[in-house]
Amino acid sequence: MSLSKESVLEALRIVRMPGGGDPVSRDLIRALAVESGVVRFVLEGAPEAELAAAKPAIEAAVRALAGVESLTVVVPSGPAKGMGAGPKIGQHPTPQAGPQGVAGVRHIIAVGSGKGGVGKSTVSSNLAVALARAGKRVGLLDADIYGPSQPRMMGVQQRPASPDGKTILPLRAHGVTLMSIGLMLKEDEAVIWRGPMLMGALQQMLGQVAWDHYGPLDVLIIDLPPGTGDIQLTLCQKTRLDGAIVVSTPQDVALLDARKALDMFRRLETPVIGLIENMSSYVCPNCGHEAHLFGHGGVGAEAVKLGLPYLGELPLDLEVRLAGDAGTPVAAGEGPAAAGYRAIAEKLIAAGAV
């Protein structure tokens, strides 16, 4: 039998869980992905101690299958989303006298894009992990209130705690200190807020989160929503930003919107410390042919035209998508995709931006 989701599930049905039954019949296997010899899934839905005890046997059963080249099994910690007591996010902003820094944070860098779908959140999470692996103390704030994706990409589900009902203790994953509105909600729960509520939530996540809970940070990466709206305006006007990174694909339509993001940062007097071309190329895993599905070199040319730093290009890679879906960013491992993020992190460090 060739390697497939069905063959993986069949192998897992023979594994006995400490609490009885098997992980398949108990619906403990979530987000299973099987592609090109790479197997990834999340193991959840039972007490953490039971899942941890069963994990070695589960991994052994999958690795015994023919064709398995790589296996990642993620066991999230803490209760499921939307459960337990904790601080409430979402209120009207409080008055503030001018831009302020964030306690315990040395540098603050926003990652933005003119439009959605260019991989900005993927770049944010992987860049944060790459910087952490380079020895920097890194925080990651998911400021995409309407579409928070960092909890899934970073493999975190635990609801943040609050010792006093006001201070919010961030979580930690892959060496990165993390906070997201998605950690305060059920996974399929929509945020239906007008602008003032958005601005208040951002203010809370910057000011009430104890970003130095695990120690002072060298840099806080802020994953912005797409576009040039309330969140971007509030962040640039109310926070002392060291700079912004703009992510775009090389195609003309994406570049049109990327230019709007660049113009926004210019008008808000936020320095742009670099541009990144994402989905720059695709290499066929079967024949090795390189194709440029969205064009190539457009972002680099734009950087030269505007006199801005070009941080590099990142490929369209299946491994990046699988890693993000499984909660272990590809930058946490090795290989060509991880090397691309490592190179960008090294450029930022060499430039003194971090």
Annotated binding-site ranges for ATP: 114-121
To which residue do tokens 């320095």 refer? 271
DSSP string, 52-77: HHHHHHHHHHHHTSTT--EEEEE---
Burial 260-271 (b: 16+ CB within 10 A, else e): ebbebbeeeebe
Residues of each annotated binding site: 114-121
SS (H, E, C) 223-235: ECCCCCCHHHHHH
- Beta carbons of 93 and 196 less than 8 angstroms apart: yes
Torsion, CA 301, CA 306, CA 312, CA 317, rounded to 10: -60
Alpha carbon distances (Å) from 222 to 132, 225, 317:
15, 10, 24
- Beta carbons of 150 and 220 less than 8 angstroms apart: no
Rounded to an integer, what distance in angstroms lies between the CA atom of residue 341 and that of residue 336? 9
Rounded to an integer, what distance in angstroms lies between the CA atom of residue 138 and that of residue 174? 10
Q: At what angle do helices 120-133 and 318-326 cross, to 10 degrees?
A: 80
Rounded to an integer, what distance in angstroms lies between the CA atom of residue 81 and that of residue 84? 9
- Beta carbons of 66 and 3 less than 8 angstroms apart: yes
* Number of alpha helices (DSSP H) and beta strands (DSSP E) in the chain: 10, 13
Query: 3-class DSSP state for residue 157?
Result: coil
Tokens of 56: 């070695």
